[in-house]
């Protein structure tokens, strides 16, 4: 406003000066000192009017520029006020680790705390709220499933909890597992409690399983998706036996190979509770398994030539369990950027079924098979190394009950040695290859006799 007042004053001074010069010219002419003609007076008057018009135009330009500057200043003042507005704890939780609660510090202006300035937090929260459909619009509700600040943490969360939100998705997986079991069989008796009389057999089984594991996924909403999985397996088992013919140095071996489709499974995952600042992301998982693979019951064993009855191997290898199954579990995940903590518990139930032959010996023995149910639990954590990569460590254990057979017309009997305790340590790495593509790797190390000695897996999830 002061600038406008000064500008108007200058214009008025110019006008007064011009009028005074014009009157002075007339007075001088009357006194006879200097005379101006009417034509000269008109030229001078036109010139002054032109200058006044130019000054008016400049005044309008300056006034318009002044209004623009005042509007911009007001907008900046309002923007700064909005950025430094305090955020509540629920909004802070939505930042996934990009916030530190107010606290007393020895050095309040420490430059290392620049990341946690409220201006940066307000901008980050606004970006997340626009990009995430599950970000809470009412901080009082306290429910959210905001994306992590880095793509690596997002990939880990999706790998553990499922990929909610995308309509279609395809996972391509490749896996390899190796088993190596050895045992000593004694067929005889002890004489004088010190001398063994009979046959000693040293058996070793080495198995390799290669799996191609495609999974198709469809998301109904941000809380529910279903998936279908149909693996393809290639199996190779090498049977080695020593002690043929009573000689410990006589070795005989046989390799059996087979391939085929595995058991088809359909699953559904529902997000029961989205992650908040005080509660982990909770997902319920349900799955149904269909016996589309080759079952192991009724497979005949044949004697290997020149083993003198010391080694028998199966005619074929199974690619499925042979029975219907279902599982129900719950998994939880909490993000403490750059760390992610997760855990899960799952119960597996196998339905009993009847088969035409349940024995490996020659001839058919029909009966009922009840594969043992199982409990599995696991926990782990992952660290984001940078925006696109992370490493993870986890442990999983599955406890399997005994399998029971009931031949027709006979009593039920358990299968000796069919119970299992499978414990595995998993070391993995996740790499984000783009907005829709990731690479998940894993190496498993078996800790119990029933576990695979080692396993390697690669998975490439793609979101359409």
98: confidence class by pLDDT, cuts 50, 70, 90: very low
Q: Which of 264-268, 365-369, 456-460 has the lowest mean pLDDT?
A: 365-369
pLDDT band at 277 (very low <50, low <70, confident <90, very high): confident
Query: How would you class 41 by CB atoms within 10 Å of its CB: exposed for 0-12, middle for 13-18, buried for 19 or more?
Result: middle
Concatenated DSSP letters of 16-45: HHHHHHHHHHHHHHHHTS----HHHHHHHH
Phi, psi at 44, each rounded to 5°: -65, -40
Give the residue with greater pLDDT, 143 vs 415.
415
Classify residue 5 by its DSSP letter.
H
Instruction: Report pLDDT digits (tens) over 35-84.
Output: 557 777 788 888 888 888 888 888 888 888 888 888 888 887 776 555 55
Share of the chain above pLDDT 70, in %: 69
Which of 242, 107, 125 shows the shortest CA–CA distance to 184? 242
Write the pLDDT tens digit of every residue in 322-375: 899 999 999 999 988 778 899 999 999 999 999 888 877 777 888 999 999 999
CA angle 461, 462, 464 (to 5 degrees): 150
The whole-chain average pLDDT of the chain stands at: 76
- Cα dist from 273 to 85, 93, 144, 166, 342, whole Å: 29, 15, 9, 19, 14
């Amino acid at each position: 406003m002061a600038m406008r007042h000064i500008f108007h004053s200058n214009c008025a001074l110019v006008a007064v000066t011009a009028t005074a010069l014009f009157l002075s010219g007339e007075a001088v002419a009357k006194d006879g000192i200097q005379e101006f003609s009417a034509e000269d007076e008109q030229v001078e008057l036109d010139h002054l009017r032109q200058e006044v018009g130019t000054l008016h135009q400049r005044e309008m330009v300056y006034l318009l520029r002044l209004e623009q500057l005042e509007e911009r200043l007001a907008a900046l003042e309002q923007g700064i006020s909005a950025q430094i507005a305090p955020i509540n704890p629920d909004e802070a939780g939505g930042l996934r680790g990009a916030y530190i609660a107010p606290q007393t510090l020895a050095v309040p202006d420490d430059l290392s705390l620049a990341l946690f300035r409220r201006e940066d937090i307000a901008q980050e929260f606004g970006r997340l709220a626009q990009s995430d459909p599950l970000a809470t619009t009412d901080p009082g509700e306290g429910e959210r499933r905001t994306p992590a600040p880095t793509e690596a943490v997002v990939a880990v969360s999706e790998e553990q909890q499922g990929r909610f939100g995308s309509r279609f998705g395809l996972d391509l997986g490749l896996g390899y597992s190796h088993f190596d079991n050895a045992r000593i069989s004694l067929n005889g008796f002890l004489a004088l409690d010190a001398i063994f009389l009979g046959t000693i057999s040293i058996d070793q089984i080495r198995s390799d399983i290669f799996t191609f594991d495609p999974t198709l996924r469809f998301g109904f909403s941000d809380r529910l998706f279903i998936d279908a999985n149909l693996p393809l397996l290639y199996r190779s088992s090498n049977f080695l036996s020593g002690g043929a013919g009573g000689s410990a140095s006589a070795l005989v071996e046989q390799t059996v190979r087979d391939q085929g489709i595995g058991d088809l499974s359909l699953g559904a995952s529902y997000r029961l509770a989205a992650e908040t600042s005080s509660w982990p992301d909770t997902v319920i998982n349900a799955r149904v398994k269909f016996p589309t693979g080759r079952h192991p019951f009724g497979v005949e064993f044949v004697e290997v030539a020149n083993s003198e009855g010391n080694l028998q191997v199966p005619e074929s290898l199974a690619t499925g369990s042979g029975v219907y199954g279902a599982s129900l579990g719950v998994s939880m995940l909490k993000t403490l950027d750059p760390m992610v903590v997760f855990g899960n518990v799952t119960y597996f139930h196998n339905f009993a079924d009847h088969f035409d032959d349940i024995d490996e010996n020659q001839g058919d023995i029909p009966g009922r098979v009840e594969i043992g149910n199982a409990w599995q639990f696991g926990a782990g954590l992952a660290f984001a190394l940078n925006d696109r990569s992370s490493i993870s460590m986890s442990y999983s254990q599955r406890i399997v009950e005994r399998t029971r057979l009931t031949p027709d017309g006979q009593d039920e009997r358990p299968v000796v040695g069919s119970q299992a305790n499978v414990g595995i340590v998993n070391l993995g790495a996740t790499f984000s290859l783009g907005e829709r593509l990731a690479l998940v790797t894993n190496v498993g190390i078996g800790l119990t006799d029933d576990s695979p000695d080692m396993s390697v897996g690669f998975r490439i999830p793609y979101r359409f």
